[in-house]
Structure 1
Amino acid sequence: MQSLKLIDGDIQFNENGELIMVEGDEELIQCCTIALGTNTGEWFLNPEMGIDFKSFLGKNVNEEIMRGELARGLLQEDRIESLDDATFEINRTARTMTVSFTATGQNGEIIQREGVSVGAG
């Protein structure tokens, strides 16, 4: 598949003003990142898309619940077969959380992404 290349939600253009496209693993990672950055119910065209940000907020977050919600979000992408690993980095001072994950695609490809912001921040 191909998608428009996004950086921080902004469509990217090359030096000639033409749209930049992504495909392959980069496109799949971008789709996964969008799902994890969307709060369930936020997008009116698909209110089921995304993850429940409440699972990632608060002082006493539960890593098992967060991992389950992360898996639920990633598996919304039909090309993802499984979530293999996830690590959560909480910065209490800045009140932010980032997630790094490894997932397996339906064709056996290994998808890795580090530093995805989830929840508020």
Structure 2
Amino acid sequence: MYKNTFKMVGGDIVVDGDLILVDGQEELRQNIENRLSVNVGEWFLNIGMGLDYAAISGKGIEDRGIEFALRECCFQDDRVKEVRDVRVKRNQETREALIEFVIIDKEDSPLYMEEVVNLG
């Protein structure tokens, strides 16, 4: 069910004398983080992948709209069974939101996530 992939920190591949691989839930975490950092239509190899930033940016966007866009993005990975406990904490000064949520994978294991997104 899980794959092996390169360990990434801050979008950079980690090299410690050799490439480091991750698997299991850490690989799923990286996959979701990468999807959330890409705007839908931005990656030419899969224009349907990513977070719909247009749906979460600008005035009048409600927390439930942010939650919907987050869920839609997470479910792009077929290993995600459920997204629970989504909490949006807005910072009006920086126009960002800290989003905390729990992913339940196909093995019914929880994965606790948080992501900061720019609300524009």
What is the TM-score when the length of structure 1 is the normalising length?
A: 0.90
Counterpart of 1:24 in structure 2 is 24
Structure 1 gap ranges (5+)? none
Q: Are 1:108 and 2:108 counterparts?
A: yes
5 Å-filtered alignment, 1:4-23, equals: 4-14=6-16, 16=17, 18-23=18-23
Higher relative contact order (CA 8 A, sep 6+): 1
Structure 2 gap ranges (5+)? none
Identity, % of aligned positions: 31
- Within 1, Cα distance between the matches of 2:89 and 2:45? 31
Letter in 2 for 1:74: C
Counterpart of 1:118 in structure 2 is 117
- Within 2, Cα distance between the matches of 1:87 and 1:102? 10
5 Å-filtered alignment, 1:74-93, equals: 74-93=74-93
- The counterpart of 2:4, out of the listed 2, 16, 21, is 2
For the Cα contact (< 8 Å) 1:37–1:119, is it kept in 2?
A: no
1:59 CA drift (Å): 3.3
RMSD: 1.4
Deviations 1:54-111 (A, max 9, x none): 2222232211111111111000011001111211121111222221110110111111
What SS does structure 2 have at the residue aligned with 1:19? coil
For the Cα contact (< 8 Å) 2:51–2:70, is it kept in 1?
A: yes
Counterpart of 1:48 in structure 2 is 48
How many pairs does the alignment contain? 118
For the Cα contact (< 8 Å) 1:54–1:119, is it kept in 2?
A: no
- Within 2, Cα distance between the matches of 1:72 and 1:11? 26
1:41 CA drift (Å): 0.2
Q: Are 1:59 and 2:59 counterparts?
A: yes
1:120 CA drift (Å): 5.8
For the Cα contact (< 8 Å) 2:95–2:118, is it kept in 1?
A: no
